[in-house]
Amino acid sequence: MSMGHEVRYRVRGGRRLHGTVFIQGAKNAVLPMIGASLMASKGRTVLRNVPIIEDVRRAVELARAVGAKAELHEAERTLVIDASSLDSPVLPADIASRFRGSFLFVPALLHRLGEAVIEGVGGCNLGSRNLDFHYNGFKRLGATVTEQIGANGAGQIHIKAGDLRGGTLYCDTPSHTGTENLIMAAALARGTTLIKNAALEPEVLDNIKLLQGMGARISGGGTGFVTVEGVDELSAVEHTVMPDRIDTGVFVMAAAITGGDLSLVGANLEHLGVAADKLEQMGLEFHQQGAVLQVRRERGLRPINVITDEYPGFATDLQSPIMALSCLADGPSYIYERIFDGRFKLADELTKMGADIEVNGNRAKVNGPGGLRGAEVEAHDLRCGSALVLAGLAAEGETTITSAYYLDRGHAHTAERLSQLGAEITRETL
């Protein structure tokens, strides 16, 4: 991933966090929604509660690159998109390779322009991340997928839509963006599509809700079998993005790692799935009071076993944060990462801070309790970045986190929000 400028966070540990924090809108909901909004051939889509994160800025640039008008009103957290002027099927590498969500633009390009040209798909480097379920699904709907060498000598994937017809599709495993892409591709295809082994994540359901508002006919969301009846057109509507459950989980763990007491405005405990139960077992107390979640820790942290899984299992995006938290638990914790094979680079960084972690393939044993001390560490991916901020909040002395563009990909105003709760944290760009 090209980094642009270098971003660094400095954290001085030891402060107990206390107060009220606003949970941002969900990164993994807003990205498919930007893709969905490009399917409306007239009118203006209004997305509210949009997180002001780097991935959203990249998505706005990409929407403009394919010809849409997109205005991100940062103070209002509102994105207005007019896709009537969409005119380029090319997702340019310099933007698309910086975030995974770029691939969620493909269905709109197929429907509106008959083709999509992909020069690079980015996102966090988490080991092998394939897109075969997406390509196979598009092909089953009637698209052709070819790889060719572009004008600049780099590889390009060319998807041609022809006449998209409904069919029976499946995901080998319930892929999050795969399900979203196949639903969007089926929404304007002729006839009925059945998607088997569809993902159950709350963000997938929120995207279905937006598409239904636009006029799509989708049923079975949340059951694993999604049926889509194609319609002729989709219209531009207004939609409020759901709260970010990973942002929620990170602030819950910020309370946990500092022995703090926080009110999380807009957070929904149900969206945490099994992670809520694991955090309770570790010693957190939750009180959901309507749309505000209160969390505090008053006793010591107990060790934990974590197995990552699709929703409602323990989210892989919270695996790195809980590894940081378990460094302070009173005994050994066991973590088994089942979704991504490249997510344990964090262990080396935490080791620099004094943690004792044994990694064996996709399993890690964290030997708590250990005192963490400040160090210079690197964010290898987004969740590695949030885990290192958490570790820094609990460490003695100063922690410097480099390559922190990754953190900014997915969390808005991290330094400001944590500072308001009493943390000592600053963000620098070099």
Ligand X SMILES: CC(=O)N[C@H]1[C@@H](OP(=O)(O)OP(=O)(O)OC[C@H]2O[C@@H](n3ccc(=O)[nH]c3=O)[C@H](O)[C@@H]2O)O[C@H](CO)[C@@H](O)[C@@H]1O
Ligand Y SMILES: C=C(OP(=O)(O)O)C(=O)O
Residues labelled catalytic: 124
Residue from the set 2, 173, 219, 223 that interacts with ligand X by CB under 6 A: 173
Residue span binding ligand Y (CB under 6 A) among the ranges 33-41, 80-88, 98-106, 195-203: 98-106
Told to check if 101 binds ligand Y by CB under 6 A, we report yes
Question: What is the C-alpha separation between 216 and 218, in angstroms, rounded?
Answer: 6
Q: Residue 251's binding partner, choosing from ligand Y, ligand X, none, with beta-carbon cut-off 5 to 8 A by kind?
A: none
What backbone torsions phi and psi does residue 395 show, to the nearest 5 degrees?
-80, 155
Tell me which residue of 346, 390, 345, 358 sits closest to 372, measured CA to CA.
390
Other CB atoms closer than 10 Å to residue 129's CB: what's the count? 14
Which pair of structure tokens corresponds to residue 50? 């949009």
Residues 307-326 that bind ligand Y (CB under 6 A): 317
For the window 120-139, what string marks contact with ligand Y as x by the rule CB under 6 A? ---xx-x-------------
Beta pairing class for 332-336 and 363-367 = antiparallel
Residue from the set 251, 340, 344, 405 that interacts with ligand X by CB under 6 A: 340
Residue closer to ligand X (CB basis): 9 or 133: 133
Residues 211-240 that bind ligand X (CB under 6 A): none
For the window 354-393, what string marks contact with ligand Y as x by the rule CB under 6 A? ----------------------------xx----------
Amino acid at 232: D
Please indicate if the annotation marks 209 as binding a ligand. Answer: no
Question: What is the C-alpha separation between 152 and 347, in angstroms, rounded?
Answer: 38
Rounded to an integer, what is the distance from CA 95 to the centroid of its chain? 17
* First and final C-alpha spacing in the chain: 18
Amino acid at 180: E
Residue from the set 15, 100, 278, 411 that interacts with ligand Y by CB under 6 A: 100
Residue from the set 410, 418, 423, 425 that interacts with ligand Y by CB under 6 A: 410
Told to check if 196 binds ligand X by CB under 6 A, we report no
Taking CA atoms, 53 is separated from 11, 59, 70, 143, in Å, by: 20, 10, 15, 33
Residue from the set 9, 99, 138, 314 that interacts with ligand Y by CB under 6 A: 99
Q: Residues, the chain, total? A: 430
Please indicate if the annotation marks 100 as binding a ligand. Answer: yes
Question: What is the C-alpha separation between 333 and 312, in angstroms, rounded?
Answer: 21
**Contact indicator for 123, 378 with CB cutoff of 8 Å:** no
Residue from the set 7, 11, 23, 31 that interacts with ligand X by CB under 6 A: 31
What backbone torsions phi and psi does residue 233 show, to the nearest 5 degrees?
-155, 160
Binding residues for phosphoenolpyruvate: 27-28
Judged by the rule CB under 6 A, the positions of this chain that interact with ligand Y are 99-101, 123-124, 126, 317, 382-383, 410
Judged by the rule CB under 6 A, the positions of this chain that interact with ligand X are 28, 31, 100-101, 128-134, 173, 175-178, 316-317, 339-340
